[in-house]
Amino acid sequence: MNALQVETLTKSIGDRILFSDVSFVLQEGDKAGIIAPNGTGKSTMLSIIAGEGEADSGTVKTAPGLRVGYLEQTPPFRPEQTVREYMEEMPRDAEDWNFEDRMRSMLTSLRITDLEQPMSQLSGGQVKRVAAARVLLGEPDILLLDEPTNHLDIDMIEWLESRLSRQRCTLLMVTHDRYFLDRVCNRIIEIDGGRVYTYDGNYDYYLTKREERHDAQDAELARVRNLLRTELEWMRRQPQARGSKAKYRIDNFHQLEARSKQRRQESDVALEMQGSYIGSKIFEARNVAKSFGDKLILRGWNYNFARYDKVGIIGDNGAGKSTLIKMLQGIVPPDSGSFDVGTTVRFGYYSQEGMQFDEQKRVIDAVREIAEVVKIDDKTTLTAAQFLCRFLFPVPDQQKYIYKLSGGERRRLYLATVLMRNPNFLILDEPTNDLDIPTLAILEDYLTHFKGCVLVVSHDRYFLDRVAEHLFVMRGDGEILDFPGDYSTWRHCLEQERREKAEAQKKTESAAAPVRQRTPQPARLTFKERKEKEALEAELPALEQEKTELEAAMSSGEMNPQAIVEAGARMQQLIDQIDEKEMRLLELMEKGE
């Protein structure tokens, strides 16, 4: 059954077309992600679908009786209302007698415990969590999410990811979090060059099929340009007889000419800044301590940055990640200890708060205030206008007033102003918020090859895996762990540690539990237990083999959406069965010793 149907949706702001003739259909149970460049109106489109905005033309239809829930990118609230008052404003049945218990349970899962706290006192991440709780608590049939992972720490992102993967609803969301897209969505809707492309699969499947589409487009473009050369020669022959030329060939020539000029916009983005020279002495932290009242941020921290170090910082919201990077730059002083910075180090700081631009200035004027000419390397310089073109600000867009830019365009402009100063030590605080996926991919590639140091705070797991070579894990109470690996390796180690603790706990509880025996039993296996042990020893390798084969199939990108869902369910069954049978086999082996 069609849950949501969008037909020829069009929206403009002034003379600027955000999107035109967008059409797609979501079946009941579909979980789809929208991917499009910044400035193409993704948030505007979502608000129109939610009924909060108006389109210039087109229609949005939902199946009768289906409830719609909408989480905005920046959820609105009244500053004076408490968390409880905000939650109680949500639509609900009058007979929802257990609402209070459900509300407390969900908010506690999201680490919100004070229901009487004013909303105005919450951090951006806390507001997003409360707003997400209100939407999810309503159990909508159609769920619309605009950048749901922005401002959430990684634990909360993974909690939301797990819940949405299990929840039976139709989902449409805008997000730049690629792991989130990959693990939650079974459809991807891409808006590229004014056209809509749909892919029945997760984000990994989309990447594969999108590359195939681009290869086909490149081949078609090459064919068109070859044909154009032939037609151009024909048009130039005997110009005095052009009036007698076949009209259809002349029309065809002009169509070919237009098609030959097609370019994919993302290929125009280029980050080629090399970074200025950085010496062998970089940066050293010596016995640094910092606290705010009773909250301990750092306790006797020491670290010596190496040349070309690329470090990711992770930790819960409020752990002090932003404070740490501000201390490194001297913006916030330590309580004790010191920092020794090399003389060649030039910081480039991309803050979470963003740059405060003069809203009434044009884009080109804001950049020219920093530099008229930008040095790319020893042989290349660009004018401010040329430099902006590389950040997807073509000449007409450079004349826009800054107040007209979208959130993603502002972030892209801010990134340009940081990089144009040629830093050799980049400090990036949540750089992925509001940037579109093509820009993120290019930024990741740039940072990977950057000839300098990189220190990045991010909740984007995909970004961390691509950029960071090791992690500073802020574990609370002033402790920072330097972990030698990427984020996925860190999560694997944490999961392994959790399993080992759980198994140790089971053994402890089993040993402590009273054993009711009428008569002493021999410390050996019965005939039935020996048969059970032999069966387990035969079953476990087969289950492990099936699990390995299923993992390979799920990562191949060749499974259809239904097969992916079924494979995910079977994978969970296999994990549960393996855990259960391993524990039982361990018990039998210990008894038989």
SS (H, E, C) 134-180: HHHHCCCCEEEEECCCCCCCHHHHHHHHHHHHHCCCEEEEECCCHHH
CATH code for residues 2-201: 3.40.50.300
**Mean pLDDT for all residues in the chain:** 84
Q: How far apart are CA 72 and CA 344, in angstroms?
A: 44
pLDDT in tens, 158-200: 999 999 998 889 999 999 999 999 999 999 999 887 788 999 9
Check: CB of residue 422 under 8 Å from CB of residue 375: yes
Q: How many CA atoms lie within 13 A of 210 on its CB side?
A: 21
Asked if pLDDT for residue 409 goes beyond 80, the answer is yes
Q: How far, in whole angstroms, is CA 514 from its chain's centroid?
A: 50
Q: How far apart are CA 240 and CA 220, in angstroms?
A: 32
Asked if pLDDT for residue 241 goes beyond 60, the answer is no
- Band of the pLDDT at 267, cuts 50, 70, 90? very low
- DSSP letter string over 499-543? HHHHHHHHHHHHHHS----SS---SS--HHHHHHHHHHHHHHHHH
pLDDT at position 268:
46
Q: Which has the higher per-residue pLDDT, 404 or 574?
A: 404
Check: CB of residue 518 under 8 Å from CB of residue 585: no
Q: Which of 105-119, 448-462, 559-573 has the lowest mean pLDDT?
A: 559-573
pLDDT in tens, 504-520: 888 887 777 665 555 55
Q: Which has the higher per-residue pLDDT, 141 or 192?
A: 141
The mean per-residue pLDDT over the stretch 334-362 comes to 89
Spatial CA neighbour of 54 closest among 41, 68, 66: 41
Two tokens, residue 85? 């008052």
From edge to edge, which strands make up the β-sheet containing 57-62? 16-27, 2-13, 57-62
Check: CB of residue 129 under 8 Å from CB of residue 110: yes
pLDDT at position 510:
77
Answer whether CATH 3.40.640.10 is correct for domain 283-489: no
From edge to edge, which strands make up the β-sheet containing 295-305? 295-305, 283-292, 336-341
pLDDT in tens, 414-447: 988 998 888 989 999 999 887 888 888 888 888 8
Asked if pLDDT for residue 374 goes beyond 80, the answer is yes
pTM for this predicted structure: 0.74
Asked if pLDDT for residue 129 goes beyond 90, the answer is yes
Let me know if 413 is exposed, middle or buried by CB neighbors in 10 A (0-12, 13-18, 19+): buried
pLDDT at position 294:
87
Let me know if 230 is exposed, middle or buried by CB neighbors in 10 A (0-12, 13-18, 19+): exposed
Q: Which has the higher per-residue pLDDT, 189 or 533?
A: 189
Q: How far apart are CA 149 and CA 237, in angstroms?
A: 60
Based on C-alpha coordinates, what's the Rg of the chain?
29
Q: Strand pairing of 295-305 and 283-292? A: antiparallel
pLDDT in tens, 13-56: 888 888 899 999 999 999 999 998 887 889 999 999 999 999 99
Amino acid letter for position 502: A
Q: How far apart are CA 416 and CA 381, in angstroms?
A: 15
Asked if pLDDT for residue 259 goes beyond 70, the answer is no
- Band of the pLDDT at 592, cuts 50, 70, 90? low
- 2-201 and 283-489 share one fold: yes
Asked if pLDDT for residue 588 goes beyond 90, the answer is no
pLDDT at position 266:
44
* Strand ranges inside 39-166, DSSP E: 57-62, 68-71, 142-146
Q: How far apart are CA 344 and CA 325, in angstroms?
A: 19
Q: Which of 20-34, 250-264, 559-573 has the lowest mean pLDDT?
A: 250-264
The residue count for the chain:
593
pLDDT at position 265:
46
Domain boundaries along the sequence of the chain: 2-201, 207-262, 283-489, 524-593
Percent of the chain past pLDDT 70, that is, above it, reads 88
Check: CB of residue 146 under 8 Å from CB of residue 71: yes
Under DSSP, the state recorded for 370 is T
Check: CB of residue 127 under 8 Å from CB of residue 71: no
Q: Which of 253-257, 488-492, 502-506 has the lowest mean pLDDT?
A: 253-257
- Band of the pLDDT at 120, cuts 50, 70, 90? very high
Q: Strand pairing of 470-476 and 310-315? A: parallel
The mean per-residue pLDDT over the stretch 542-563 comes to 74
Q: Which of 3-12, 260-269, 519-528 has the lowest mean pLDDT?
A: 260-269
- Band of the pLDDT at 211, cuts 50, 70, 90? confident
Q: How far apart are CA 234 and CA 252, in angstroms?
A: 12
| Long-range residue pairs from 503-510, CB within 8 A, at least 24 positions apart, any chain | 503/583, 506/583, 510/587
C-alpha distances in angstroms, 64 versus 60, 67, 76, 101, 444?
12, 9, 28, 30, 44
Under DSSP, the state recorded for 376 is -
